Amino acid sequence: MEVAMKSRAFLRLNLIGILGLVGLVILLAIGFVVLMNRQTPEAAVQKFMEGLANQDLQTLNEYSYLEKPSKPIEEQWRYCFDVASKGMPFVWRIGDARMTGDGHAVVDVYLVQFSIGGAKEVDEPFKIPVIQKDGRWKVDLVGVPRDFFPGLPR
């Protein structure tokens, strides 16, 4: 009888230990997913640049911010791609990011210039401003330098 009680107590402790271990693994997995999905200014600019390269309006709208567009935003993107920068090849590299205030940052973007002599990365990066809106980082189109890419929405 005493052996049976010790055996049950041992099983109960093992069960509690196993459940505790499973709970810990679940909490670690949730923490990992949350950390991996945390967006950074650099990641937002990278997504924006991919949208620009692919002329992907959905991605551009998701990763850019323009408080009061002068014309409908989709119309401005169409002009950008179909007229101002038609056929313009470009390659980029994301550089450093700096926080400039609460919910504001600047990300350095280096563009590669193409010429008859070949391709060369520009020495000075473009400073791309990003702003945090509704918990997500977005490129602030008003602050993007005019010579960065032709015809960006304003």
Whether pTM exceeds 0.85: no
pLDDT digit string, tens, across residues 74-91: 999 999 999 998 877 789
Give the chain's mean pLDDT: 84
CATH of the domain at 77: 3.10.450.50
Q: Are residues 80 and 62 in the same domain?
A: yes
Q: Is the model's pLDDT at 2 over the cut of 80?
A: no
100 within some domain: yes
Q: Are residues 32 and 47 in the same domain?
A: no
Q: How many domains does the chain have?
A: 2
150 within some domain: no
pLDDT digit string, tens, across residues 30-66: 544 444 446 999 999 999 999 999 999 999 999 999 9
Low-confidence winner among 4-18, 70-84, 100-114 (lowest mean pLDDT)? 4-18
Q: Within a 13 Å sphere around the CA of 149, how many CA atoms are in the beta-carbon half?
A: 31
Q: Are residues 34 and 45 in the same domain?
A: no
Q: Are residues 85 and 102 in the same domain?
A: yes
> What is the CA angle 135-136-137, rounded to 5?
130
Residues of the domain holding 81: 41-143
Q: Are residues 88 and 51 in the same domain?
A: yes
Q: Are residues 34 and 46 in the same domain?
A: no
149 within some domain: no
CA distance 56 to 52: 7
Q: Are residues 8 and 77 in the same domain?
A: no
Q: What is the DSSP string of 63-114?
A: SEE-SS-SS-HHHHHHHIIIIITTT---EEEEEEEEEEETTEEEEEEEEEEE
CA distance 8 to 92: 65
φ, ψ at 68 (rounded to 5°): -130, 85
Q: Give which of 89, 130, 96 is closest to 111, Cα–Cα.
A: 89
